Amino acid sequence: MNKQPGTQIKLTNVSIVRMKKGGKRFEIACYQNKVSEFRSGVETDLSEVLQIEQVFTNVPKGQVAKRDDWAKCFVTDDINKVIEEILRKGELQINNLERSHQLSSLSREIATLVTEMTVDPTTNRKHTVGMIEKSMSEVGYSVKADKPAKAQALELIKKLSEGGENVLPIRRARMRVRITMPGKDGKRIKESVMKEVEEVEEDDMGMEWEAIVQINPGSFRTITDLVNNETKGKGRVEVMGNVGN
């Protein structure tokens, strides 16, 4: 390994981890996706993480750091200890092309989740991924690289559903469920159950109360807990599928 200052090493398809220490900048060249694996403990072999076991001042230009500089700043002559500290504490740099690709992939993932969770309220049919992506742009929704796709999908659904007449009509896809329980329990808790219901398809009260209703997925746990607790296990809530295609 050549550690002389001024050495030029050209690297491609590289992820860079950068760290400032002692007033100087140090960088290491890593394989994509391996940094997070190392930090989480999945990968422990440095040779699997690093494209080259070397400390740089500038990876894209291939400028190798002087040994005296990193030894002084990190107070060690062991280059592996220096590399490990940079790897664990440094800032992962993402180039513009890579960032653009990541955001594009994340945007598609968010749009796909939205199509799975929603329907057009006028037809009960799902929108296409392309229609959702177009609407994201129209309402000015900015994808965030550091936030989970599902959380952003729920945010987007809220934004689209509040967007007014010119925005894609959208609502959460409903679940169809059958609720059954003894009539005496039904008379006592029916009002509480119906507060969580969006639409009633069938409602038959006799010795047994049976209802087929449409609910928002978020209400399923509330209804299930209410029925189980209030009927002491005698009531049932069965999923019959989703409303729409």
End-to-end CA distance of the chain: 61
Coil, strand, or helix at residue 154? helix
For 68-78, b/e burial (b = at least 16 CB within 10 A) is ebbbebbeeee
Instruction: Provide CB contacts within 8 A for 147, sequence distance 6+.
Output: none
DSSP element (H, E) containing 179: strand 175-182
How far is 187 from 204, CA to CA, in rounded Å? 11
Class at the top of the CATH hierarchy for domain 175-242: alpha beta
CATH second-level architecture of 96-172?
Orthogonal Bundle (1.10)
* Predicted confidence pLDDT, tens digits, the chain (245 residues): 444 444 555 555 678 999 999 999 999 999 877 888 888 888 889 999 999 999 999 988 889 999 999 999 999 999 999 999 999 999 888 766 667 777 888 899 999 999 989 989 888 889 999 999 999 988 889 898 778 888 999 999 988 888 766 678 898 888 999 999 999 999 999 999 999 999 999 999 999 999 999 998 889 999 999 999 999 999 999 999 777 54
The full set of domain ranges for the chain reads 15-93, 96-172, 175-242
Q: Does domain 15-93 have CATH number 3.40.50.150?
A: no
Report yes or no on whether pTM surpasses 0.85.
no
Tokens coding 105:
């992939």
Q: CA of 102: how far to CAs of 97, 132, 221, 236, in Å? A: 9, 18, 34, 44
